[in-house]
Amino acid sequence: MSKSWFITGTDTSVGKTIASCALLQALSAKRHRVSGYKPVASGCDLMPEGWRNSDALSLQANSSLSLTYGEVNPVAFKEPTSPHIAAVMEDRQIDIQQLSDGLDRLSQKSDVVIIEGAGGWYTPLNERECLSDWVIKEKLNVILVVGIKLGCINHALLTQRVLMSENIHLSGWIANSIEARNTHYNAYIDTLKSRLNAPLIGEIPHLSGKQKSSPLAQYIYLNHLV
pLDDT in tens, 64-87: 999 999 999 999 999 999 999 999
Mean pLDDT value of segment 97-123 = 97
Q: In the predicted model, what is the mean pLDDT of the chain?
A: 95
Mean pLDDT value of segment 48-56 = 94
Q: List the alpha helices (DSSP H) in 63-171.
A: 69-72, 83-89, 96-109, 131-138, 152-165
Is residue 212 flagged as an active site residue?
no
Report in angstroms the alpha-carbon separations of 191 from 86, 115, 188, 201. 37, 27, 5, 15
- Give the model's pLDDT for residue 166: 96
Taken as a whole, the chain contains a residue count of 226
Strand 40-42 relative to strand 75-77, pairing: parallel
- Give the model's pLDDT for residue 150: 94
- Give the model's pLDDT for residue 222: 87
- Residue 166 CA to residue 160 CA, distance in Å, equals 10
Catalytic residue among 3, 38, 139, 149: 38
H/E element holding 206? Answer: none
Does residue 1 register a pLDDT over 70?
no
Inter-axis angle of helices 152-165 and 185-195, to 10 degrees? Answer: 20
- Residue 15 CA to residue 23 CA, distance in Å, equals 12
Does residue 181 register a pLDDT over 60?
yes
Residue 123's pLDDT band (boundaries 50, 70, 90)? very high
Mean pLDDT value of segment 88-104 = 97
pLDDT digits (tens, 9 = 90+) for 125-173: 999 999 999 999 999 999 999 999 999 999 999 999 999 999 999 999 9
Does residue 226 register a pLDDT over 70?
no
- Give the model's pLDDT for residue 224: 72
Residue 209's pLDDT band (boundaries 50, 70, 90)? confident
pTM metric for this prediction: 0.95
Mean pLDDT value of segment 53-71 = 97
- Give the model's pLDDT for residue 56: 98
